[in-house]
Amino acid sequence: MKGTALITGASSGIGESLARVFASNDFQLIITARDTSKLVALKNSLDDPDQTQIVTADLSTREGIDHLIANTKKERVDILVNNAGIMQWGNLQDREADTIDQLIDLNIRALTYLTHHFLKGMIKRSSGKILNVASIAGFQPIPAMGLYAASKAYVLSLTESLSEQIANSGVSVTALCPGITNTPSTEQLINEIPPFIVSSADEVALAGFEALMAGETLCIPGVANKTAVAWAKLQPRSVVRKIGGFVAKFAPDQ
Ligand SMILES: NC(=O)c1ccc[n+]([C@@H]2O[C@H](COP(=O)([O-])OP(=O)(O)OC[C@H]3O[C@@H](n4cnc5c(N)ncnc54)[C@H](OP(=O)(O)O)[C@@H]3O)[C@@H](O)[C@H]2O)c1
Read off the CATH number of the domain in which 171 is found. Answer: 3.40.50.720
Q: How many domains does the chain have?
A: 1
State yes or no: is 148 an active-site residue: yes
Give, in order, the Cα–Cα distances in Å from 224 to each of 95, 136, 227, 230. 32, 11, 5, 10
Give the pLDDT confidence score for residue 224 in this predicted structure. 93
Give the pLDDT confidence score for residue 23 in this predicted structure. 98
Q: Which of 106, 210, 108, 220 is nearest to 157 (CA)?
A: 108
Which residue segment(s) compose the domain that 78 sits in? 4-250
Cα 155 to averaged position of ligand 1 atoms, centre (Å): 14
To 10 degrees, the CA torsion angle through 223, 17, 155, 26?
A: -110
Q: In sequence order, which ranges of 61-110 are alpha helices (DSSP H)?
A: 62-70, 97-103
| Site to substitute for ligand 1 among 29, 183, 187, most atoms within 8 A of C-beta | 183
> From edge to edge, which strands make up the β-sheet containing 171-176?
52-56, 28-33, 4-8, 79-82, 128-133, 171-176, 218-219
Give the pLDDT confidence score for residue 145 in this predicted structure. 94
Chain-centroid distance of CA 9 in Å reads 8
Residue closest by Cα to atom 41 of ligand 1: 34
Q: How many CB atoms lie within 10 A of CB 165?
A: 10
Measured from the CB, is residue 184 less than 6 Å from ligand 1? yes
Cα 254 to averaged position of ligand 1 atoms, centre (Å): 19
Give the pLDDT confidence score for residue 183 in this predicted structure. 97
Closest-lying ligand 1 atom to the alpha carbon of residue 87:
47
User: Measured over all CA atoms, what is the biggest interatomic distance in the chain, rounded to whole angstroms?
Assistant: 53
Q: Quick check: helix, strand or coil at residue 163?
A: helix
Catalytic, out of 148, 149, 151, 201? 148
Q: How many CB atoms lie within 10 A of CB 244?
A: 20
Closest-lying ligand 1 atom to the alpha carbon of residue 181:
3
230 neighbors 45 (Cβ within 8 angstroms) = no
127-169, pLDDT tens digit by residue?
999 999 999 999 999 999 999 999 999 999 999 999 999 999 9
Give the pLDDT confidence score for residue 254 in this predicted structure. 59
Region of 183 (left: φ > 0; alpha: ψ -120 to 50; beta: rest) is beta
Q: Which segments in the chain show pLDDT lower than 50? A: none
The span from the CA of 131 to the CA of 159, in Å, is: 9
Give the pLDDT confidence score for residue 47 in this predicted structure. 97
Measured from the CB, is residue 106 less than 6 Å from ligand 1? yes
- What is the 8-class DSSP label of residue 119? H
Measured from the CB, is residue 208 less than 6 Å from ligand 1? no
67-98, pLDDT tens digit by residue?
999 999 988 999 999 999 999 999 999 999 99
Measured from the CB, is residue 11 less than 6 Å from ligand 1? yes
